[in-house]
Amino acid sequence: MFKKLLIASRGEIAVRIIRACKELGVSTVAVHSDVDQDSMHVRLADESVCIGSQQPQNSYLNIAALLSAAELTNVEAVHPGYGFLSENYNFAEMVTKHGIKFIGPNPQLIKSMGNKIEAKQIASKNGLPIIPGSEGGITTLDQAKKICSSIKFPVLIKASGGGGGKGMKMVTKESELENAMNEAKNEAKKYFNNDEVYIEKYFNNPRHIEVQILSDKNKTIHLGERDCSVQRRYQKLIEESPSPILTAEVRKDLLSKTVKMVEKIRYEGAGTVEFIYDDGKFYFLEMNTRIQVEHPVSEVVTGIDIVKEQISIAAKGYTTLNQTDIISRGHAIECRINAEDPDKNFQPSPGIISVCHQPSGFRTRIDGAIFQGCKISPYYDSLICKLICHGRNRTEAIQRTLRSLDEFVIEGITTTIDLHKKILNHQKFISSNFNVNWLNQEKFN
């Protein structure tokens, strides 16, 4: 096992990684910007290094500063968390070249799966069904028209190097195509420095299903699936495991094909394969080569600490787990608590938390980095913590989550806590009669 590890992230995921390291007996180094010096992850780590100013490009996205911090503190490994540089193959490659273990797959796999076109080709080659659309990047309007004529409108134009809804445009008719392509390419260039786009069939009312895997170069196991269909503008708000809509037959097929694909590409570490599920069929969407925000729901239903396993695989080169060790029990729900105002179009709500009372109790878990008096910065993602509740079944999980949300008190900033209550009390959520577009269409005010 490693003796010392640097965490190239901040916030709740940095705290989560520190906790796993403490249980493994691994010393931790936190990195932080100047405005994060009093943050929870800095307080909990064994050592900390300031790597720059508040702007992410000067600190958490500054590869040179992160490498300097790693060498200065003499760490053996770097955990990228999620966000920032977690799926940046250049960062992974440079860490490796400095003789430090990058906790994740090899840089080439990160690069391949980070390009959505190449990822689709790999998935298709290795047995996963893919969404109908272009086989490669689209460079001309005539190409786009030909593809759309083949798969029929509506379609999605997507950035090949993108994610999170950036560089993504829905098109319902040919007259909208040219303008949407230009907008998508401009956004893709702005956010990902890559203006390549491709086209896929748009599904009107799909679900978003993903499979959690753990893999070494010789063996892959799954930890079941998660349903992440409660989304706002392609951003997940509530996740649950298992999915309440999959039949046993579809679930078996989905998990089996996912494991086979991941084994064939000789993946190493924790990863997530995401799918669109529509009309009884699933289609490969993308693969995330890192830990996911929503990993705790898989942890609580299986009893497996994914982050500890991720670190252990990186250190030893193998996992001691077998598929027969994975037994799912009950149902879990995660609510992402964001510092946002739903009544003001989810406007960010930075500030100082004046009162903070977090829920507890039977099978209630909080993953976060907040405390009374802490400052929520305007410079980073608005996610401040996650509430995860486990029940013997979905009904009990919903009831426990609502009870916990009622106990949750955060004052000084505005959060999404009340919105989560409204969603979980809604009949469509209770009956699982919703899709990825539901939150954009439903009024919760």
**Which residues are annotated as catalytic?**
290
Q: Which of 143, 125, 135 shows the shortest CA–CA distance to 160?
A: 135
CB 95 within 8 A of CB 76: no
Question: Which residues sit opposite 215 in a β-bridge?
Answer: 220, 269
Helix crossing, 63-72 with 89-97: angle to 10°? 30
Q: Is the Cα dihedral 33, 34, 36, 38 positive or negative?
A: positive
Q: How far apart are CA 22 and CA 25, in angstroms?
A: 5
Apex 306 CA angle, 272 and 287, nearest 5: 10
Q: What tokens appear for 402 in the block?
A: 């609502």
Q: 235-241 and 220-232: which strand pairing?
A: antiparallel
**Do residues 442 and 428 touch, judged by C-beta distance below 8 A?**
yes
Tokens of 183: 């907008």
Number of H helices, E strands in the chain: 15, 22
Name 430's Cβ contacts closer than 8 Å, sequence gap at least 6: 398, 424
Burial class (CB in 10 A: 0-12, 13-18, 19+), 193: exposed
DSSP3 helix / strand / coil % (the chain, rounded to 5) = 35, 25, 35
Helix (H) or strand (E) holding 14: helix 11-24
Strands (DSSP E) contained in 233-268 are 235-241
Q: How far is CA 442 from CA 227, 339, 342, in A?
A: 19, 21, 13
CA 43 to chain centre: 25
Measured in degrees and rounded to the nearest 5, phi and psi for residue 294 equal -90, 15
Cα–Cα dist 402/394, whole Å = 12
